[in-house]
Structure 1
C-alpha cells in the first residue's frame, strides 16, 4: 500500500469508530476485508488510528471537522506532514483537499483541546496532578514505551540484552525497575525472539514491575484480580507461591502457558474455587479502574469514561478491598493497585477503607506518574495494627 492508501484506510476506520465500533473491532474488520494489506501496512494504519485516538480533540480542531477525513487532516498537520502528497487521489489515496478544507482548522487553544481530555474530567485531572497536570496530559498523547520484564530466575538482564541484540532488538535499562528493559528498536520482533520463547522475558510496563518490586517479602501470594497474570508471574519470579484469581476466569486462560514458559507454577482459581479459609502473606488487588495512567495504550478508554462509570468503579474498588482483606494473614499485607492517576481511585479509596476498618493502617503508598519510562500507577500497602 502507498502512504496515501494507508491514510485512506485510517480515515475509513476512524469513521467506523465514530459510527460506534470499538477501535480493535474496527481495525480487525478492516484487516479481514483487506487481505491485500501486508503486516507493515496493518501496523502503520494501526499507528495512525491510535495516534488519532490519543489526540482526538486537537486533531478535530486542527482539521476543522469531526469526521475521519478532517481528523486525519488534523493529525497530519500536527505532524507537519506533506498533506498534498498523501491526499492526491492516486493509488487509493484520499481525494485532494478542497479549498474549504485548506482554510478550515485552527490551532487548539482551549485546555481540553490541547490536553486531549474529556471536558468533565479536567477538574479531577488538575486536582490529582497539580502543577504537573498539563505536562502529563501532553506526555499522555505520545506512544507508550515498549517494556520488558526480565525473568531473573533463569537469566540476567545482561543475558537478555545480548540475546535480543543478536536478533536486532536493542534495549536499554529502565530506571523504574531493575528487571525492566525499554525496547529501542524492532519491538514487533520481541514475541518471535528466542528470549521470549524461552521464557526469559515478558511484556510488562516498567511501573507495573515497580509496583511488584515494592511488595514486602513473603511466602504465599494471592493475585486477587489477576487478569492476564502479569503481576502474578512477577510475584512468582520473586519466589512467592502464587494463586491467581479473577471474577472473570476467562481472563486467566493464558496464565498456565505463560507460567510454564517462565518456569514457574501458578495455581489458577475461579471465584467458587477460592476457599474462605485460605490466607496469604500478600493479597494483591490490581483493581478495575479508569485506566487513566495507561490511556496511551488504550486511548479509546478516556473518551468512553463517564462520571457515572467512574463512580461505579469506585464502588467496585471498595468492594474488592473489603472482600480481599479476609484472605490476608494477621501479619500479612493487602496491596491495592490501580493504573490510574485520579485521586478518587487512589488515595480516596485508601482513606475510605481505613475509615471503614478500624485496626488497619496504611504502611506505604506511592504514585508513579505517566512518563517516558512507564505508565501512571498507584499502590498502597494495608496492614493490621
Structure 2
C-alpha cells in the first residue's frame, strides 16, 4: 500500500470508530479480511487511527471539522505534513482537498480531553496537568518485565538484543526494560515465548516491587489476585515472591489467557470462582487492580477516553468501593490488602482509600504511591492496607 492509501484506509476505519465501535475490534476485523495488507501497512494504519484518537480535538481544530477526513487532514498538519501531498485522488489516495479545506488556517493544539473530565483531572494533577496532558497526546513507551523466575534483567536484555530488540533499563523498577527498537518483534521473540519476559508497564512493575516487605511479613503464603484479568499482576508477584497463588475475576472470561501465560512463566495459579472465595479464605495478601476509568492508559487506549462519561465513572467508583469491602473480608488478621488503579483521578485513588479507612478505622494504610507519564510510565496508583 502507498502512504496515501494507508491514510485513506485510516479515514474509512475511523468512520465506525467515531460512531461508537471499539477501535481495536475495527482494526482487527479489517486486518483479518485485508490479506493484501502487509505488516507495515497494518502498523501504519493503526498508528494513524490511534494518533487521531489521541489528538482528536486538536486534529478537528486543525482540520476544520470532526469528520474522519477532516481529522486526518488536521493530524497531518499537526505532524508537519502538507495534506495536499497525500490527498491527490490518485491510486487509492483520498480525494483532492477542496478549496475550503485548503484555505483553513486555524492550526494548533488544544486540550485533547473530554470537556466534562478536564476539571477533575486539573484538580487531581495540579501544576503537572499541562505537562501530563501533553504526554497523553503521544504514544506510550513499550516496556517489558524480566521474569525473575527464569532470567535476570541483564540476561533478558542480552537475549533481546540478539534478536534485534534494543532495550534500556527503566528506572521505575528493577525488572523493567524500555524497548527502544524492535517493539513489534517482541511477541515472536524466544525470550517472550519461553516466559523470560512479559509486556508490562513500568509503573505496574514498580507497584509490585513495593510489596516486597508485605510479602515477606506475610510469610510468603497465600496470595490472591482479586481482579486478575489476564494475570499480569499475579505473574509479576510470582516472579518476585514465592507463595501459593490464586486468581479471581468477576468476569471469568477475562481469565482465559491466564493458564497459558502461567505455564509460559513457570507459575502455578489456582483460579477461583466468586462462589469459591470464602471457602478458600483467608489470604495473607490480596491484590485488587480494580476496574477504573483507565485515564492513566489513555496513551495506549485513546478510544476509551472519548467513550467514558460521568455516569459510567460514577458506577465504576461504586464498584471500586464494593471490591474493597468484599476483598477486605477475605484477608487474614494482620494480612494485607493492596489497591491499585491505572487512573490519574483522585476520586478513584486516594479518595477511595479515605472512604475505606473512614468505614474501617481499625485498618492501617501503610503507604500510597502514584506514577504519571512524567515518570516515563502509565498513570498508576497503589495503596497498601493492613488488617488489624
Same fold (TM > 0.5): yes
Q: Is contact 2:278-2:330 (8 Å) kept?
A: no
**Residues in 2 aligned to 1:280 and 1:286: alpha-carbon distance in whole angstroms:** 16
The answer to whether the aligner puts 1:235 opposite 2:263 as a matched pair is no
Q: How far did 1:39 drift? A: 1.4
Within-5 A mapping of 1:1-385: 1-108=1-108, 114-215=110-211, 216-217=214-215, 218=218, 219=220, 220-238=222-240, 239-276=242-279, 278-371=281-374, 373-385=376-388
Structure 2 segments unaligned to the other structure (5+ residues):
none
Structure 1 segments unaligned to the other structure (5+ residues):
none
**Residues in 1 aligned to 2:101 and 2:33: alpha-carbon distance in whole angstroms:** 29
**Residues in 2 aligned to 1:376 and 1:79: alpha-carbon distance in whole angstroms:** 25
Q: Is contact 2:331-2:387 (8 Å) kept?
A: no
Ranges of 4+ aligned residues in structure 1 off by more than 3 Å:
none
Q: Is contact 1:150-1:200 (8 Å) kept?
A: yes
Q: CA-to-partner distance for each residue in 1:157-203, whole Å, 9 max, x for gaps?
A: 11111111111100000001000000111111111111111110000
Q: Is contact 2:332-2:387 (8 Å) kept?
A: no
Q: How far did 1:289 drift? A: 0.2
Q: How far did 1:213 drift? A: 0.7
Q: Is contact 2:52-2:75 (8 Å) kept?
A: yes
Q: Secondary structure at the match of 1:247?
A: coil
**Residues in 2 aligned to 1:289 and 1:371: alpha-carbon distance in whole angstroms:** 20
Q: Secondary structure at the match of 1:275?
A: helix
Q: How far did 1:155 drift? A: 1.3
**Residues in 1 aligned to 2:62 and 2:26: alpha-carbon distance in whole angstroms:** 24
Q: Is contact 2:157-2:167 (8 Å) kept?
A: yes
Q: How far did 1:17 drift? A: 1.4
Q: 1:130 to 1:300 in 2, by over 3 A?
A: same
**Residues in 2 aligned to 1:233 and 1:33: alpha-carbon distance in whole angstroms:** 34
**Residues in 1 aligned to 2:387 and 2:262: alpha-carbon distance in whole angstroms:** 32
**Residues in 2 aligned to 1:73 and 1:211: alpha-carbon distance in whole angstroms:** 40
Q: How far did 1:353 drift? A: 0.5
Q: CA-to-partner distance for each residue in 1:288-331, whole Å, 9 max, x for gaps?
A: 00000001111111111111111111100000000000111111
Q: How far did 1:372 drift? A: 6.2
Q: How far did 1:73 drift? A: 0.4
**Residues in 2 aligned to 1:105 and 1:281: alpha-carbon distance in whole angstroms:** 61
Number of corresponding residues = 381
Task: Calculate the TM-score normalised by the size of structure 1.
Answer: 0.96
Q: How far did 1:90 drift? A: 1.7
Q: 1:243 to 1:277 in 2, by over 3 A?
A: closer
Q: Is contact 1:337-1:379 (8 Å) kept?
A: yes
Higher mean alpha-carbon deviation, 198-207 vs 276-285, is at 276-285
Q: CA-to-partner distance for each residue in 1:115-147, whole Å, 9 max, x for gaps?
A: 200111111010000000010011011101110
Q: Is contact 2:224-2:248 (8 Å) kept?
A: yes
Q: How far did 1:79 drift? A: 0.3
**Residues in 1 aligned to 2:298 and 2:354: alpha-carbon distance in whole angstroms:** 25
Q: 1:277 to 1:195 in 2, by over 3 A?
A: closer
Q: Is contact 1:276-1:326 (8 Å) kept?
A: no
**Residues in 2 aligned to 1:190 and 1:290: alpha-carbon distance in whole angstroms:** 28
Q: Secondary structure at the match of 2:140?
A: coil
Q: How far did 1:51 drift? A: 0.6
Higher mean alpha-carbon deviation, 218-227 vs 22-31, is at 22-31
Q: 1:190 to 1:349 in 2, by over 3 A?
A: same
Over the aligned positions, Cα root-mean-square deviation in angstroms equals 1.3
